């Protein structure tokens, strides 16, 4: 494609309108600032929804997804080695375990880099956009950190298999914030200090990688052209759900847009009706003996002349109608609570609710999002690992690993691919063996040190300084034997053995 970046963005922009329209509708009912209307600026005002269940559900679901995608206490991926290839070359099991331990240290170094950077903050923002709008673009530069492009600032095009072909972004920048190279490309500043220019970035897929360049006013910025490998693209387009034949994803909120719209209308009616019902208005019979002025000016507890029959209080008589609305609101909130994994929505209303009930209900609901984990692991986590490992390799923060032997495997979300499944298999193996032949026979056949190493690897725990080595175990065993012997023989026996050892040493012929 020989189009300029601006022409590419314009050609792809038309296919995005329907997704933007749905995204803005979803944002109005949840968090309005995520995707405001077109033309929103610093002096614009956002409409506030009449209900907060949408914002609460989005924040709750986004927080849980962030913890699942980037757990704070363990790596979210595993560097897996080709065990079959190593065994075919004659590598012993001890060597394979040592390699896995070394790879675990590489994983920990990677996670330390993630913790020091702003990746967690950027991914949390991206997850919020995914839940509401269904799309986000994550940019991971080489100098560290990450940035999120919103749906109204980027366009994508995919092939029928869902692979990315083109990515194009549009940024509106102040002329004064441009570098000198950019100012030369942009030309003279004719609009003053507040003049703005549009910066377009194009990412096109080639046979062996990605071609990237930036333009201002149709002119390519010097030193902005680059080429990245297929798995090292700094621009990572994200989708919440995959729809065959569509270039963009659909948001989670869009699936429950009907309930949110109904809840918004009912909440508005209930709030406005309650405000009207809360108004207190006294009516005085104009033909009665009680005067309205007397009622208005009399202080609390005063004695005044009048007839109680002349005074009445205005009432709406809409209690039953409000009750129907309130019950409908509660049912919708309960459904949305189940959908957005809100604890208050999934726990039954009772005096005694066990922790096991809460755990099982939460696990049942989270299992409904299993397909989401699979999509985000392939389109977010794995590209992020490949990109950051490439950046850290260039900065000599990580060793270069052979691609044909070591590959990163995502382990969060789908536990069958993770260390949790390895740990479960180890425990089931030992428990089953102990039931069949007994614990003593298992202790005689299983190498405890090797089991500890594999269990620590499965849990992602450092064993240095925690698990004793074979040398330390041998030294402690020898010391214990000497102590037992000393207690058994007593001081006299120890002295006699020492004298015998000294005499035997003296009888040995001296070396010439």
Put the strands of the sheet holding 135-139 in their side by side order. Answer: 147-149, 135-139, 235-239
pLDDT tens readout for residues 44-101? 788 899 999 999 999 988 888 887 788 776 778 888 777 766 677 666 666 777 777 7
Mean pLDDT of the chain: 81
Q: Are the beta carbons of 165 and 159 closer than 8 angstroms?
A: yes
Which range among 80-89, 186-195, 240-249, 402-411 shows the weakest confidence by mean pLDDT?
A: 186-195
Cα 287 → chain centroid: 71
What does the pLDDT look like over 159-216, one tens digit per residue?
998 899 999 999 988 888 787 778 777 776 655 555 788 899 999 999 889 999 999 8
Separation CA 193–CA 137 (nearest Å): 30
pTM above 0.85, yes or no: no
For β-strands 209-216 and 196-205, DSSP reports them as: antiparallel
Nearest one of 80, 148, 140, 135 to 114, comparing CA atoms: 140
Determine the Cα angle at 478 with ends 474 and 479, to 5°: 115
- Structure confidence by residue, pLDDT tens digits, 25-60: 999 999 999 999 888 877 778 889 999 999 999 998
**Rounded Cα gap, residues 307 and 290, in angstroms:** 6
Q: How do residues 433-475 score in pLDDT, each as one tens digit?
A: 888 888 877 777 787 777 777 777 666 666 666 677 667 777 7
- Mean pLDDT over 482-491 rounds to 70
Alpha-carbon span 508 to 283, nearest angstrom: 126
Taking the CA atoms of the chain, what radius of gyration do you get in angstroms? Answer: 35
Where along the chain do its domains lie?
255-353
Here the contacts of 323-329 (C-beta below 8 Å, separation 24 or greater) are 325/266, 325/269, 325/270, 325/273, 326/270, 328/262, 328/266, 329/263, 329/266, 329/267, 329/270
């Amino acid at each position: 494609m020989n189009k300029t970046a601006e022409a590419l963005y314009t050609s792809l922009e038309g296919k995005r309108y329907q997704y933007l329209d749905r995204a803005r509708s979803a944002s109005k009912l949840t968090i309005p600032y995520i995707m405001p209307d077109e033309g929103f600026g610093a002096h614009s005002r956002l409409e506030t929804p009449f209900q907060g269940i949408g914002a609460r559900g989005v924040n709750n679901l986004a927080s849980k997804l962030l913890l699942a995608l980037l757990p704070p206490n363990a790596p979210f991926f595993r560097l897996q080695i080709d065990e079959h290839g190593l065994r075919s070359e004659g590598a012993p099991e001890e060597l394979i375990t040592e390699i896995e331990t070394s790879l675990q240290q590489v994983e920990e170094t990677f996670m330390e880099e993630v913790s020091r950077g702003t990746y967690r903050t950027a991914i949390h923002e991206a997850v919020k956009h995914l839940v509401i709008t269904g799309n986000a673009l994550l940019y991971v530069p080489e100098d560290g950190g990450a940035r999120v492009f919103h749906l109204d600032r980027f366009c994508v095009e995919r092939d029928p298999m869902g692979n990315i072909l083109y990515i194009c972004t549009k940024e509106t920048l102040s002329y004064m914030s441009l570098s000198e190279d950019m100012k030369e490309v942009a030309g003279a500043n004719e609009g003053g200090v507040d003049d703005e220019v549009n910066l377009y970035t194009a990412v096109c897929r080639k046979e062996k990688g990605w071609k990237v360049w930036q333009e201002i006013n149709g002119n390519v910025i010097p030193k902005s052209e680059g080429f990245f490998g297929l798995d090292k693209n700094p621009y990572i387009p994200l989708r919440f759900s995959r729809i065959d034949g569509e270039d963009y994803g659909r948001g989670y909120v869009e699936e429950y847009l009907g309930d949110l719209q109904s809840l918004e209308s009912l909440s508005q009616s209930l709030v406005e009706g309650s405000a009207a019902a809360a108004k207190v208005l006294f009516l005085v019979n104009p033909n009665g003996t009680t005067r309205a002025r007397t009622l208005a000016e009399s202080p609390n507890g005063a004695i005044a002349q009048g007839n109680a029959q002349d005074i009445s209080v205005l009432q709406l008589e809409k209690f039953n109608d409000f009750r129907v609305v309130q019950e409908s609101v509660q049912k919708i909130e309960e459904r949305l609570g189940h959908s957005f994994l809100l604890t208050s929505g999934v726990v039954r209303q009772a005096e005694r609710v066990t922790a096991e009930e809460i755990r099982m209900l939460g696990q049942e609901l989270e299992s409904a999002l299993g397909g989401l984990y699979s999509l985000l692991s392939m389109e977010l986590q794995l590209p992020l690992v490949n990109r950051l490992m490439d950046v850290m390799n260039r900065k000599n923060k990580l060793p270069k690993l052979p691609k044909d032997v070591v590959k990163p495997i995502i382990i969060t979300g789908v536990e069958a691919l993770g260390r949790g499944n390895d740990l479960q298999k180890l425990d089931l193996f030992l428990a089953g063996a102990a039931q069949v032949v007994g614990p003593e026979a298992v202790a005689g056949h299983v190498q405890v040190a090797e089991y500890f190493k594999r269990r620590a690897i499965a849990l992602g725990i450092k064993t240095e300084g925690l698990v004793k080595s074979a040398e330390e175990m041998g030294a402690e065993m020898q010391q214990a034997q000497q102590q037992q012997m000393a207690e058994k023989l007593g001081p006299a026996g120890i002295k006699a053995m020492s004298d015998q050892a000294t005499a035997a040493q003296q009888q040995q012929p001296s070396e010439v």
